[in-house]
Every structure is written in C-alpha cells, then in structure tokens.
C-alpha cells in the first residue's frame, strides 16, 4: 500500500471556519469549503503544500454555501489551482443573488455580506481564467473517475445530495421577499441565517461510502433538507463508514435517520466546531447526543473558545517524527485525517489527529 492507494479525507478547522481536503487515488485533490489561517492564506492551500501536493492536481473546489465560515479564501484557492472545477449550489446563480453580492461587495460590513463578496470575487476569478462554474443541484455527480489498483478496477464518485428543488425555490423566495422590502430607498442587504441551500455530498469508492454533511439542516417537509436526501438515498442501502457531521454538530442539522439509515454502526464522525460571541457549537448537549451515536467522533478544535497557543512542542515533535520533512501545520489549525486503503477486501478507516484536534470526549465548549 502507498499513500496514493488511499482515499484521504482531512477536516481542517480553527474554531471558526471549516475546510475539507480530499485526496483521491488517480484523480487528485478536491477541496470542499475554505477558511483563512491567521496568516491570511487558505488553510487547505497550506495543507496541500505541506504534503508536497501539486496545485495543478487540485481538480475540484466546492463551496457548499456562502456563509463566512465556509467560503473565506475560496477565490484565492481558485487563483492558485487553475485546473480546478468550481462547484457551488445552483441557487447562487439567481439574479437576486447577483444583485445582493454586488451590493455586499460594495458595502462589505457584516458576516453574510463578506461571504457574498468572497463568492463574487470567486466568480470573477473563474471568469478571468476561462472557466465556467458548475452550478450543482441534488443528484448531480460532481467528480467521477475509474482507476486500476492492485489488479482491480475501482470507481470513485462524489454526488451532490442537496439542495433540493424545493430548497432552492424557498431560498429564492426568501431573497426576493427581502430584496423587495422598501428600506429608506436604500438597497437593503438581506440577512440569511438559514443554511437551506447548503450542498451535502455522498462519496462512493470501491464499495465504501462517505457522507459530507455541509451545514444541511433538518426540515419538516419531505422534499427539503435531510428528509429529501433520505427519500432518495436510503432505498439504495448504501451506508457511510465516515460522516462529516452536518452543521458543526448542532441540533438543527441532526437527523436520527441519517445515522440509522445512511451510516454504518459506529462510523467515524468529524466536526469542525463553530464559535461566535462566546458561544460554541457543538454544545455539551450536542456532544452527548453524538457520543450516544458513535464512539469514534472527533473535533478539529479542543477548546474553540480558548485563544490558540503555540502547538505543544511534544506534538510538533511527534508530527515531525511521523513524517520527516513535513512542515508543522500552523498551530491554530486542527486537522482530522481519515484514510481508507481501498485495496483490501474489507477496507477500514484509520484516523490521525493533528494540532488542536481531539476526540469528542476531550472537547470543551466552555471558555
Ligand atoms: Zn457553518
């Protein structure tokens, strides 16, 4: 087995910000969402470089939605990774959204508007490099490849599970209603707090499956959010051995059926915590719920409300000894890397923790 025989999924986080880096045999790198390190560069870019990765081998960059904690640095990634296809939810092509993004870029004040400005900057990079964005909706295969390994043919697929048609329609209605609201003649920037158009994804590789939950939420309606995903996916009987838990482990992203029907028993589960205004997700109640569902849950950030300190020298030393020449990752970024060797008859996930990452049992949402 070599590293290139393995599927690798790395979740990066620093307490606010989530980025997932996939390395797929015979295909290359795929980056899902982005955040900036303290030094102001995309954490995913730093990670790929630290692994000696070739940026021309980054085949895909995915923006699951336009919230600040998922999109900062996406335009920089697109600039640096010129061969990458840019995939984003279809609702973000609406005329209403373009108007909002334009205004947001001009004003650029609050959290959502800076997310919109980053998205606008990304679309400009794409246009300037003669690429066309891949506007995604449920059921679309974002990336696919077939490769030969150990004398056997293997297949990889990454499929978008959301947004559903109804999710998109509801989002556009929300945008239209807010955009049209009169507000002292001034253009009013709508506030979006919901994650209705968030793009979750399902991965298939050699009979194994993984689920990237984005910030997708549980909705009452059958044709929206997780219910819509379940209606389409559950009958296939595929079950993920790896789940990047939806919406940072918050209750709003929780669907019991996702765990019972779309995941194997005791799956590897990962979370990039979210913090704001002295609050942290997952909360203690979220942790209890998740720990009852799997014994193999991990977070990128042990104490998200505590200021990052220099990585303990013992940890840095350990990382260096594990991979001589590997540059230690910036101390504030935690990384959970799950690896699946696809060549054995029964592949099993292996997990490595770096920087501030830890098991969910060692995580603390208190300051
Ligand atoms: Zn988020």
Q: Tell me what pLDDT residue 325 has.
A: 38
Answer for the pair 162, 229: CB distance below 8 angstroms, yes or no: yes
Distance of CA 195 from the midpoint of ligand 1 (Å): 8
Q: Which structure tokens are listed for 300?
A: 């990128």
In 3D, which of 133, 198, 197 has the Cα closest to residue 169?
A: 197
Q: Which structure tokens are listed for 86?
A: 């840019």
pLDDT (mean) for 192-215: 87
Distance of CA 322 from the midpoint of ligand 1 (Å): 31
Lowest-confidence region among 166-170, 198-202, 348-352: 166-170
With a cut of 50, say whether residue 229 has pLDDT above it.
yes
With a cut of 90, say whether residue 172 has pLDDT above it.
no
Q: What angle do CA 290, 295, 299 make, to 5 degrees?
A: 65
Distance of CA 149 from the midpoint of ligand 1 (Å): 36
The residue ranges of every structural domain in the chain are 3-362
Q: Work out the pLDDT band at 106, boundaries 50, 70, 90.
A: low
Q: For the stretch 121-140, what's the b/e string if a residue is b when 16 or more beta carbons lie within 10 angstroms of its beta carbon?
A: bbbebbeeeeeebbebbbeb
pLDDT (mean) for 262-268: 98
Distance of CA 261 from the midpoint of ligand 1 (Å): 24
Q: 């954490």: which residue's tokens?
A: 43
Distance of CA 342 from the midpoint of ligand 1 (Å): 30
Distance of CA 13 from the midpoint of ligand 1 (Å): 11
Q: Tell me what pLDDT residue 88 has.
A: 93
Taking a 5 Å cut-off on Cβ, the residues next to ion ligand 1 are 69, 215
Answer for the pair 200, 136: CB distance below 8 angstroms, yes or no: no
53 phi and psi angles, rounded to 5 deg? -70, 150
Q: Work out the pLDDT band at 184, boundaries 50, 70, 90.
A: very low
The CA distance from 171 to 166, in Å, is 8
Distance of CA 255 from the midpoint of ligand 1 (Å): 17
Q: Tell me what pLDDT residue 162 has.
A: 94
Q: How many other β-carbons are positioned within 10 Å of the β-carbon of residue 365?
A: 20
Q: Which residue has the higher pLDDT, 185 or 257?
A: 257
| Exposure on the CB side of residue 110, measured as CA atoms within 13 A | 9
pLDDT (mean) for 229-249: 97
pLDDT (mean) for 147-159: 92
Give the CATH fold of the 3-362 domain.
Metallo-beta-lactamase; Chain A (3.60.15)
Distance of CA 62 from the midpoint of ligand 1 (Å): 14
Q: Tell me what pLDDT residue 95 has.
A: 61
pLDDT (mean) for 284-292: 98
Q: What angle do CA 105, 330, 47 make, to 5 degrees?
A: 75
DSSP structure class, residue 345? S
Distance of CA 69 from the midpoint of ligand 1 (Å): 5
**Mean pLDDT, the chain, whole residue set:** 86
Distance of CA 1 from the midpoint of ligand 1 (Å): 35
Instruction: Give the DSSP H or E segment for 267.
Output: strand 263-271
Distance of CA 164 from the midpoint of ligand 1 (Å): 19
Alpha helix (H) ranges present in 19-94? 43-50, 68-71, 74-80
Distance of CA 4 from the midpoint of ligand 1 (Å): 30
């Amino acid at each position: 087995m070599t590293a290139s025989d393995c599927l690798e999924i790395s979740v990066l986080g620093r307490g606010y910000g989530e980025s997932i880096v996939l390395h797929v045999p015979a295909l290359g790198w795929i980056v899902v969402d982005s955040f900036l390190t303290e030094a102001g560069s995309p954490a995913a870019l730093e990670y790929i470089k630290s692994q000696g990765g070739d940026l021309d081998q980054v085949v895909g960059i995915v923006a699951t939605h336009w919230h600040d904690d998922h999109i900062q640095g996406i335009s920089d990634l697109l600039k640096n990774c010129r061969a990458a296809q840019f995939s984003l939810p279809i609702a973000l092509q609406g005329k209403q959204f373009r108007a909002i993004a334009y205004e947001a870029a001009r004003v650029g004040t609050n959290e959502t508007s800076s997310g919109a400005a980053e998205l606008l900057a990304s679309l400009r990079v794409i246009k300037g490099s003669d690429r066309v964005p891949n506007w995604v909706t449920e059921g679309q295969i974002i990336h696919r490849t077939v490769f030969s390994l150990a004398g056997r043919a293997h297949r990889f697929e990454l499929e978008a599970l959301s947004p559903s048609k109804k999710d998109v329609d509801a989002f556009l209605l929300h945008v239209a209603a807010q955009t049209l609201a009169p507000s002292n003649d001034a253009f009013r920037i709508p506030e979006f707090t919901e994650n209705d158009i968030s793009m979750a994804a399902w991965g298939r590789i050699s009979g194994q499956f993984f689920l990237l939950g984005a910030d997708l939420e549980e909705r009452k309606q059958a044709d929206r959010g997780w219910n819509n995903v379940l209606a389409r996916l559950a009958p296939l009987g595929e079950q993920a051995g790896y789940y990047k838990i939806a919406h940072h482990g918050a209750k709003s992203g929780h669907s019991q059926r996702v765990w019972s029907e779309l995941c194997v028993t005791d799956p590897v589960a990962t979370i990039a915590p979210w913090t704001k205004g002295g609050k942290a997700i997952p909360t203690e109640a979220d942790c209890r719920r998740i720990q009852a569902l799997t014994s193999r849950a991990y977070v990128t950030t042990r104490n998200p409300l505590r200021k990052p300190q220099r990585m303990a020298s013992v940890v840095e030393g350990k990382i260096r000894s594990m991979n001589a020449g590997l540059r230690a990752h910036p101390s504030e970024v935690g990384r959970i890397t799950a690896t699946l060797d696809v060549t054995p008859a029964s592949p099993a996930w292996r997990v490595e923790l770096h920087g501030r990452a830890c098991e969910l049992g060692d995580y603390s949402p208190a300051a």
